[in-house]
Amino acid sequence: MTNDTVDVLLPYALEGAYSYRLPAGVAAAPGAYAQVPLGTRSVLGVVWDGAREPPEGKALRQVEHVFDLPPLTETHRRFIDWVASYYLTAPGNVLRMVLRAPGAFEGPRQRIAYQASGIEPRRPTPQRLRVLRIASEGMPLMARELQELAGVGASVVKGLIGEGALKAVLLPGDAPFATPDLEAGHLPLSREQERAARELRALIARRGAGVALLDGVTGSGKTEVYFEAMAAAIAGGGQVLLLLPEIALTQQFLARVERRFGLAPGHWHSDVRPRERERVWRGVADGTAKIVVGARSALFLPWARLGLIVVDEEHEPAYKQEDGVPYHARDMAVVYSSLAKCPAILASATPSLESLLNAEKGKYRHVRLHNRHGRAELPKTSLIDMRQAKLASGTWLSEPLAEAIGATLAAGDQALLFLNRRGYAPLTLCRRCGHRLQCPQCSAALIEHRFRRQLLCHFCGHTAPVAQACPDCHAEGSLVPCGPGVERVAEEARSRYPDARIAILSSDLTRGANLRGMLTAVVKNEVNLIIGTQLVAKGHNFPHLTLVGVVDADLALETGDPRGGERTWAIIAQVAGRAGRGGRGGVAMVQTYLPQHPLMTSLVAGDRDGYFGQELAIRASAGLPPYRRLAAIVVSGSDASATERLAKALRARAPMAQGVDVLGTAPAPIHLLRGRHRWRLLVKADPAINLQAYLKAWLADVTPKGSLRIDIDVDPYNFL
């Protein structure tokens, strides 16, 4: 490579960077954003480093434009390369996640505002004088603002502009990011919080890589503690990324960050409007956005000087991206931390086994908070043995739970029923022929949603009208709903407590403004019985809530997935933690058919460490993560037999290697998804094995034909 050619990484699944000629007199260092021709198109890429031989006998095309933007840092480029090689994908696919801000390359936008010029209008009508008076005091205003403030029509303002009585002023289109006030909403910390904050500040002060696991029970005030670390990182001149698992959370959270730091933080997730995305993207790139609260993709923003990454609720499965590049944002945050020499804080009340093991091994600093902040007590948890509960058919609430709810409502308090199942019934059967309503494109049942009057596939989103007759035997009125969803539990609650003010909180019914409205109603005590899916488990503060009932605690344990225990613990602990935050004490009642299960007994004893210790031992003896590593290979295609043949052929050519086991071929957990048949191979490897090299060697010269596809998922979330 000579100095008049550059390699440019493009946001596509290409082998590597492509080489281009630079026009005379134009320079472009690695990290520069460049517009280049590709085929018939003109595309955006980033100048990459590392000597690369341009293909022989190919005339290089010329770079069209080099953008005047802060370059993508060396750290970020190495991060992209690292992620690509870890997840066995093209670096361009990773770069695409960095460039997802259409318009950010068109340069800062400008707005036209107006000010009185001092020139007198030819006809000084009362309306015109009103406009001019407003335009001569304070900030320049946009035409529409002037019009509204003066209460005049558009033509009045237009006329004044035409006569030169108003002169145009260009304002920067995007509001600049304010400087955080590090003391703005500083709350007094408990002694324990102060100790934890000191440890985290020490981590920041070292100005190097380093991960802390901030492990504190629900309500222990973790947030205020990591806010202290954020303040320290910002004081040191760094930017801070605060990752949250779900976008539903961020509105509430943004308000809290704003109170603490006296400014609206940058906000990044897939639903943020393009205009705001551009602003955040540019603010992150030029270093002016000091705090960004975002979903997992925010990690790929072009950080200028990242000084701290906080991963809140680090155990959340939502951090694993399932489509596109299947990366785990918590794990990649740790990688970024090590590449960028910037600290990371993983926060959770129920850390993942992976993080707990890392803390145990001393790789992460373990910072614990044991006490609930303020007076609120952890709720007392009891089990209800459902084997003893004689339930009438079509009912799901045992007598002890039903009575407790009645008493809670009668006392003027709030109760919450938790069931992690959307819709009315998870299964619909024909009582005459046994036919089960099924998604035509997936091997999954259609779920009845009575509220929406629809049947819905929870895997592909396929909808169908609620059937009156069995689609198979055509018997009328023979279809019966089986099992409960939140809507059905709400129906039971309505008949048991006709005076209760019930709210159903479920991701398909309550989103955005609707959800915010519901939560406000809950806080204002306008609702006294909340029935919800995992949506209610997350971070909301319900001050009047004193009773939490878990309708079916066994759901995730029954699937046989080794992660079921960890997940069940996390969600029950989280949802139980919603009770008793108002200082009046809380109670959690857990309905289970497995009251002797170690999870249930530990839950009642509040012995998280004991239970997680047992789970770790099981993982070790089963050779599962975090002790051995996994990769899933999914072979999919629209033709059933061709898919199976390819999967089996692939299995047959798996290289033998010490410390590597290949399991399968087996039908994937969802054997048919969106009309594609899926087979799965699972690779288990000892930690010393270079899993990527093994997979690469195996799949090197396999090129699936037609609709067939091979997808690799390194560190799959589902072990099953």
Residue in 25, 55, 362, 465 binding DNA, rule: CB under 7 A: 55
In this structure, the number of other CB atoms found within 10 A of the CB of residue 3 comes to 7
- Number of residues forming the site for DNA (CB under 7 A): 21
**Running DSSP on this structure, what letter comes out for residue 448?**
E
Strand 110-116 and strand 166-172: the pairing is antiparallel
Interaction between residue 54 and DNA (CB under 7 A): yes
Q: Shortest distance, CB of residue 57 to DNA, whole angstroms? A: 11
Residues 75-94 that bind DNA (CB under 7 A): 93
Q: Shortest distance, CB of residue 38 to DNA, whole angstroms? A: 4
| Per-position DSSP letters for 513-527, written without gaps between them | HHHHHHHHHHHTTS-
| Per-position DSSP letters for 345-402, written without gaps between them | EEEESS--HHHHHHHHTTSEEEEEE-SPSTTPPPPEEEEEETTT--PPTT----HHHH
Complex with DNA: residue 15 or 106, whichever CB lies closer:
15
d(C-alpha 438, C-alpha 432), whole Å? 16
d(C-alpha 438, C-alpha 168), whole Å? 63
Residues 687-716 that bind DNA (CB under 7 A): 705-707
Q: Shortest distance, CB of residue 39 to DNA, whole angstroms? A: 4
Residues 93-132 that bind DNA (CB under 7 A): 93
Q: Which residues pair with 464 in a beta bridge?
A: 455
In this structure, what are the phi and psi dihedrals at residue 211, rounded to the nearest 5 degrees? -120, 135
Q: Shortest distance, CB of residue 134 to DNA, whole angstroms? A: 45
Show the site string, 538-577: x = touches DNA by CB under 7 A, - = not. ----------------------------------------
Q: Shortest distance, CB of residue 97 to DNA, whole angstroms? A: 12
Complex with DNA: residue 13 or 433, whichever CB lies closer:
13
d(C-alpha 305, C-alpha 298), whole Å? 14
Q: Shortest distance, CB of residue 703 to DNA, whole angstroms? A: 8
Q: Shortest distance, CB of residue 380 to DNA, whole angstroms? A: 52
Q: Which stretch binds DNA (CB under 7 A): 56-64, 361-369, 397-405, 712-720?
A: 56-64
Of 466, 350, 378, 482, nearest to 425 by C-alpha is 482
Helix (H) or strand (E) holding 644: helix 640-652
Residue in 39, 57, 126, 362 binding DNA, rule: CB under 7 A: 39
Interaction between residue 321 and DNA (CB under 7 A): no
d(C-alpha 541, C-alpha 719), whole Å? 33
Given a contact cutoff of 8 angstroms between Cβ atoms, the answer to whether 490 and 502 are in contact is: yes
Complex with DNA: residue 482 or 699, whichever CB lies closer:
699
d(C-alpha 65, C-alpha 34), whole Å? 6
Q: Which stretch binds DNA (CB under 7 A): 52-60, 275-283, 544-552, 653-661?
A: 52-60
Complex with DNA: residue 97 or 359, whichever CB lies closer:
97
Residues 10-29 that bind DNA (CB under 7 A): 12-15, 18-20
Complex with DNA: residue 41 or 273, whichever CB lies closer:
41
Q: Which stretch binds DNA (CB under 7 A): 51-59, 116-124, 402-410, 462-470?
A: 51-59
The answer to whether the peptide bond before residue 665 is cis (omega within 30 degrees of 0) is yes
Look at phi and psi of residue 52 and say left if phi exceeds 0, alpha if psi is from -120 to 50, else beta.
beta
Residue 263 CA, distance from chain mean position? 23
Given a contact cutoff of 8 angstroms between Cβ atoms, the answer to whether 89 and 13 are in contact is: yes
Residues 603-662 that bind DNA (CB under 7 A): none
SS3 488: helix
Q: Shortest distance, CB of residue 665 to DNA, whole angstroms? A: 23
Given a contact cutoff of 8 angstroms between Cβ atoms, the answer to whether 447 and 501 are in contact is: no
Interaction between residue 327 and DNA (CB under 7 A): no
State the SS3 of 20-50: EECCCCCCCCCCCEEEEEECCEEEEEEEECC
Q: Which stretch binds DNA (CB under 7 A): 31-39, 106-114, 133-141, 408-416?
A: 31-39
Residue in 61, 109, 431, 436 binding DNA, rule: CB under 7 A: 61
The dihedral over CA atoms of 402, 408, 410, 411, expressed in degrees to the nearest 10, equals 160
Residue 697 structure tokens? 């060697």
Complex with DNA: residue 597 or 674, whichever CB lies closer:
674
Residue in 4, 49, 60, 209 binding DNA, rule: CB under 7 A: 60
Complex with DNA: residue 20 or 569, whichever CB lies closer:
20
Interaction between residue 40 and DNA (CB under 7 A): yes
Given a contact cutoff of 8 angstroms between Cβ atoms, the answer to whether 87 and 714 are in contact is: yes
Q: Shortest distance, CB of residue 13 to DNA, whole angstroms? A: 5
Residues that bind DNA (CB under 7 A): 12-15, 18-20, 37-41, 54-55, 58, 60-61, 93, 705-707
